[in-house]
Structure 1
Amino acid sequence: MKRPLYIAGSGAVTPAGLSAPQTLAAIRAGLSAFEEMVLNEPLGATQIVARIRAHSRLRRTDGQWLVNMAARAIGEALRSGTRASEATAILLTPPESFRDHPAYGDIAPADFLMAVISATGQKFHAASRATDGGAAASIGLLERALDMMEQQGVEQVLLGGVDSLVNDTDFARLRQAGRLKGADNAQGLVPGEAAAFVRLTRSPERKAHVHAAIHGVGLAQEKDSVLSERYSQGGALLGALRDAVNGSGPSEPDIDFVVSNGNGERYSGWEQLIARPRFYRTRREILPTAYPAMTIGDIGAASGALVLMLAADSFLKDYAPGKTAVCELASENGLRAAAVMVCMTRR
């Protein structure tokens, strides 16, 4: 990146909390939002999920539910600062198009961003965009966020995503692929749902002593995705990590801990097991790693911003195991991303 980006605020609605502070506190405490859900298909079967408890009127359709989640998280992130919404751009990652998410039966993908903006009741900068690609795509948009603030008159960017794997369509495809966690599959994912956004600025705000700054970003495409018939050899994740530290910022020996959207699947575990020893060559007693999915399940496209949010919060609240973090993100379609974040202090 040409210059650092700062995480100045956040907003979230997840199974662990209806705000960013609630969600982060639950993850920090190691709580679990998992529960058993009775399915319609096959009738009477149960599935472990992480579901947001909400009034039925908010879930009248799948599309309306995602829009309501996104609007709530965006509103919270916007209120964390004082800049006007008209000077604020939204970079949104909705559910990936290949999944045929039931929300798109209610709202066409091309109309999704405008539906979210309309639900907020605010006017946002015309540069706002929605991007397909899942969790890793959010990290890939960090460079664009910086360009928008430097060249298009945007004062701040709300970057994030919204998704729900708690629906019959995703249940069916994940079950067919043997990817769901259950009594017969300990190494499966727990479907979750969430919306999460971080507020990005070009410089630190106010007179706070501690700031979370993003210094480097890497992006790569894995040919052997979880949707293929082969296990990943970690090439794309390794490439993303190397690109993230290929600059004037922190390098591999400086990294103190990792925040990952790993979801407990066998595929995810093996990929990390192969890629990390090839990247982390400096001797460490341990490499502390945070997995938010242990609390809120796999939240798909929303996990990109959530991982950034958790890393930043650990710096601001002084519970991070060091001053430099790497955020690792993987999307189902094979996109891999990494971002280096640093705890910065000023007098």
Structure 2
Amino acid sequence: MINPLGVGALAVSAAVRSGICQYQETGNISKDYQPFKMALVPDECLPELDRQIGRGKSPYYQRLIQLTNIAILQACNQLDSSQPLPLMLALPSEQNLAVALDADSLLLDIVRSCQDLIDFSASRHFRLGRAAGIAAFQAGLELIESGISDAVLIGGVDSYLDLMQLALLDRQQRLLTATSMDGFVPGEGAAFFVLSREPNGKVTLGPPGLSDEPGHIYSQEVCLGDGLSNAIRSALTGITQPVKTVFSSFNGEHANGKEWGIALSRNSQNIDEAFIMEHPADCFGDLGAATVPTLMILAYLGLLRGHYASPLLVWSASDFAERGAITMTLND
């Protein structure tokens, strides 16, 4: 894992639990002449790229490779096997027209930068924004259940450090400034974990829930909360105890508040009345497509160390229609 709070999952987990915030005012000025905040990874934390990798591509494209490279190496260094793993990669939404991203080339360049750690032929990318990590997890799970692979590398990468993207968000009044409180702090990061067929795992993952919300923030339709409600309902299938901890993709915008309220009401029979809500974007900003794998890793570490009560629900809502959720239960 890497994001504005640090390099490595343990460092980020400790910073989140301590409430450390890496929001910083930038020199970028909004259309209302107000500086807006961002949460960025210091350049000195990023590895140098081979000159042939990402050659001729934008700084944004190259930054995604740098963020991914350092997080994947961390994950794979903990493995005993040197066999290349399939990669299920969550990426920014293809509907985000402000980001010109050649996802196929990016996946290939990531494989090239990771020193034979990834099986490119079995790898896929998912351009669904914040909820993309759930789709990546679902695809990785299917790969394991089919017997094609015993282990899969799952994760995501994203960055808002792109002038076209920031300009669009500014015009849409979605950035947090002194005059606009209904906004978010753009962040960046990457997070990866290995999903394997381990018979004695310490945490059980429930079925992934994916659904679409017609009334998303870029739609003319009214948000009825069906997408998030259905995704959470699917994720709660088979749960034997009510959820006690919730990890969400809340980033400070008000849009998801109504959605979550509806989803909570519709699934209240499976969620404890005294549940604890965690929304780490308060510390590291909005991580976009890296949100779900980051939340899952933080939740996993927290469950093992007794910081969070089990069962635990992770949910995330993209800017567009996609909504995703999954449960994590500490085994006895």
Normalising by structure 2, what TM-score?
0.90
Q: 1:148 to 1:168 in 2, by over 3 A?
A: same
The one-letter amino acid of 1:330's match is A
Q: 1:102 to 1:238 in 2, by over 3 A?
A: closer
Distance 1:57 1:337 in 2: 31
The one-letter amino acid of 1:339's match is I
Distance 2:30 2:175 in 1: 14
User: Out of 209, 224, 234, which is 1:243 matched to?
Assistant: 234
User: Out of 34, 39, 48, which is 2:23 matched to?
Assistant: 34
- Gapped runs of 5+ residues in structure 1? 1-11
Number of residues of Structure 1 aligned to a counterpart in Structure 2: 322
Distance 2:271 2:124 in 1: 42
1:99 positional shift:
1.9
Contact in 2 for aligned 1:219/1:336 (Cα 8 Å): yes
Contact in 1 for aligned 2:188/2:286 (Cα 8 Å): yes
1:9 alignment partner in structure 2:
none
The one-letter amino acid of 1:170's match is Q
Distance 2:43 2:95 in 1: 27
1:8 alignment partner in structure 2:
none
Q: 1:164 to 1:238 in 2, by over 3 A?
A: same
Distance 1:34 1:334 in 2: 28
User: Out of 260, 279, 284, which is 1:296 matched to?
Assistant: 284
Structure 2 residue 181 is matched with structure 1 residue 190: no
1:336 alignment partner in structure 2:
323
The DSSP-based 3-state class of the residue aligned with 2:140 is: helix
1:121 alignment partner in structure 2:
115
2:71 alignment partner in structure 1:
73
Structure 2 residue 194 is matched with structure 1 residue 199: yes
1:99 alignment partner in structure 2:
96
Contact in 1 for aligned 2:29/2:35 (Cα 8 Å): no
Contact in 2 for aligned 1:211/1:315 (Cα 8 Å): no
Contact in 1 for aligned 2:235/2:327 (Cα 8 Å): yes
Contact in 1 for aligned 2:243/2:270 (Cα 8 Å): no
Distance 2:117 2:67 in 1: 18
Distance 1:163 1:291 in 2: 18
Structure 2 residue 34 is matched with structure 1 residue 25: no
In the TM superposition, what are the counterparts of 1:164-313 in structure 2 within 5 Å? 164-204=159-199, 211-230=202-221, 232-246=223-237, 249-251=238-240, 253-281=241-269, 284-313=272-301
Deviations, residues 55-90 of structure 1 (Å, cap 9, x unaligned) = 39859811111101001111111112212242x111
Contact in 1 for aligned 2:242/2:270 (Cα 8 Å): no
The DSSP-based 3-state class of the residue aligned with 1:154 is: coil
Distance 2:127 2:69 in 1: 18
Contact in 2 for aligned 1:48/1:181 (Cα 8 Å): yes
Q: 1:44 to 1:226 in 2, by over 3 A?
A: closer
The one-letter amino acid of 1:220's match is S
1:6 alignment partner in structure 2:
none
Contact in 2 for aligned 1:64/1:103 (Cα 8 Å): no
1:316 positional shift:
1.3
1:281 positional shift:
3.2
In the TM superposition, what are the counterparts of 1:123-162 in structure 2 within 5 Å? 123-125=117-119, 126-162=121-157
1:123 positional shift:
4.1
The DSSP-based 3-state class of the residue aligned with 2:170 is: helix
The DSSP-based 3-state class of the residue aligned with 1:286 is: strand
1:49 alignment partner in structure 2:
38
Deviations, residues 182-234 of structure 1 (Å, cap 9, x unaligned) = 111222111000011121111156xxxx7122022211000011112455221
Distance 1:230 1:166 in 2: 30
Distance 1:46 1:40 in 2: 4
The one-letter amino acid of 1:148's match is L
Distance 1:339 1:37 in 2: 35
Distance 1:340 1:312 in 2: 11
Distance 1:164 1:153 in 2: 32
Contact in 2 for aligned 1:241/1:337 (Cα 8 Å): yes
Deviations, residues 120-174 of structure 1 (Å, cap 9, x unaligned) = 1224222111111122122123232122123353221111110011321221121
The DSSP-based 3-state class of the residue aligned with 2:13 is: helix
